[in-house]
Amino acid sequence: MSFSIETIKNRHSVRNYKPDKIVPDKVQQINEKIAELNAEGNLHFQLIEDVGKTYNKLVNRTMGLSSAPSVIACVGPDDDTVEQRIGYYGEKLVLFAQEIGLNTCWAGIFNRNNIDAEIKDGERLVISIAIGYGKDSGKPRKSKTPEQVTEVKGEKPDWFVKGVEMALLAPTAINQQKFMIRLNEDETVDFIDKGGMFSQVDLGIVKCHFEIGAGKEIS
């Protein structure tokens, strides 16, 4: 399934949720998409319908995340690539949720002891995604300019410009946007991590957005 640029533009982080549980039909759709992405990305995403005390930390309550009815636990093999893969495939899940009328928020701060996720030997719980029906649709955030996040030798092809435009709409931890997208002379693209919390997750999300904007996968 390919996602539209409009889906990216319409999707914003939502931190305040209605108490309504996600209806069974949408739960089924989310679980089917999770199964597909888990197989494709060698991950162990899990939808937990009752969020319980996952977001009972003060910072979560302040942001409103304690009102989220459900959570997606982002679990995967504990290796060097898991965080970036979770960002990449997790954002596909986030955009899918947007398309079926649900709201989401990537959440790195949560009560790891109270999230009812299955974590097998050799796996790690990296981050969570709050999911449900938002009290609003969220709002756009401030962004860096394309010049601040790109390194280009020569002319910028149209597909690269469009890819960067969508990458700048990618959610990143505390809106840090600590990444660089480099276009090489042979028109290959490098995604560079400039550090910061959850920066590898962010890089996976950025790559997902870039590919949608560019209209092609980047190896």
pLDDT of residue 151: 96
pLDDT in tens, 134-148: 999 999 989 999 999
> 56: pLDDT confidence band, cut at 50, 70 and 90?
confident
φ, ψ of residue 61 to 5 degrees: the values are -65, -40
Rounded CA-CA distance 45/4 in Å is 23
Q: Which domains does the chain possess? A: 5-132 (3.40.109.10), 146-214 (3.40.109.30)
Rounded CA-CA distance 187/90 in Å is 27
pLDDT in tens, 2-51: 788 999 999 999 999 999 999 999 999 999 999 999 999 999 999 999 98
Closest CA to 27 of 92, 97, 129: 97
Q: How many CB atoms lie within 10 A of CB 120?
A: 9
Q: Which amino acid is at 201?
A: V
Rounded CA-CA distance 215/198 in Å is 26
Answer whether residue 166 shows pLDDT above 80: yes
Euclidean distance between the first and final Cα of the chain, in Å?
Answer: 18
pLDDT in tens, 62-88: 777 888 899 999 999 999 999 999 999
Answer whether residue 159 shows pLDDT above 90: yes
- 165-169: average pLDDT: 97
Q: Which amino acid is at 163?
A: G
pLDDT in tens, 97-132: 999 999 999 999 888 888 889 999 999 999 999 999
Q: Percent of the chain beyond pLDDT 90?
A: 79
Answer whether residue 1 shows pLDDT above 70: no
pLDDT of residue 99: 97
Strands (E), the chain: 46-48, 70-77, 103-107, 123-132, 150-152, 179-183, 189-193
